[in-house]
């Protein structure tokens, strides 16, 4: 059953050692590109996820440098060869410097 947390990582239900699996990640996060203004409030400050970093064990395996063009609630998926048992950790960083971390264990 789905968890409705702000951040989430999904692995396939079953996989074998050395299999290439699809990993899905998602964060609920606004996207303001900094160029939108409201009549009475002026410009809305830039606010979006600018970096997504993925660690497999201690090793950083993917770094995404995003821009305001990244969507709101970005959904990011990639393929991973499940070579060993280790935590898979995703770190999202936004333009205000906040970090969000989520992790699941890859078990083979």
| Residues making contact with other proteins (CB under 8 A) | 1-2, 4, 8, 10, 24, 26, 28, 30-31, 71-73, 75
CB of 4 to other proteins, least distance (A): 6
Q: Which is nearer to other proteins, 37 or 61 (CB)?
A: 37
Nearer to other proteins, 37 or 107 (CB): 37
Cβ-defined contacts of 92-99 (< 8 Å, 24+): 92/7, 92/27, 92/29, 92/49, 92/51, 92/52, 93/49, 93/50, 93/51, 93/52, 93/53, 94/29, 94/47, 94/48, 94/49, 94/50, 95/46, 95/47, 95/48, 95/50, 96/47
Nearer to other proteins, 2 or 16 (CB): 2
């Amino acid at each position: 059953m789905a968890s409705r947390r702000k951040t989430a990582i999904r692995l396939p239900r079953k996989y074998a050692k050395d299999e290439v699996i699809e990993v899905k990640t998602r964060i609920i996060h606004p996207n303001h590109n900094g160029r939108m203004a409201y009549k009475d409030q002026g410009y809305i400050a830039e606010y979006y996820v600018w970096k997504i970093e993925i660690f497999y064990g201690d090793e950083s395996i993917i770094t995404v440098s995003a821009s305001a063009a990244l969507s709101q609630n970005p959904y990011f998926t990639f393929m991973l060869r499940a070579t060993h048992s280790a935590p898979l950790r995703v770190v999202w960083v936004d333009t205000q410097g906040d970090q969000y971390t989520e992790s699941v264990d890859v078990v083979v």
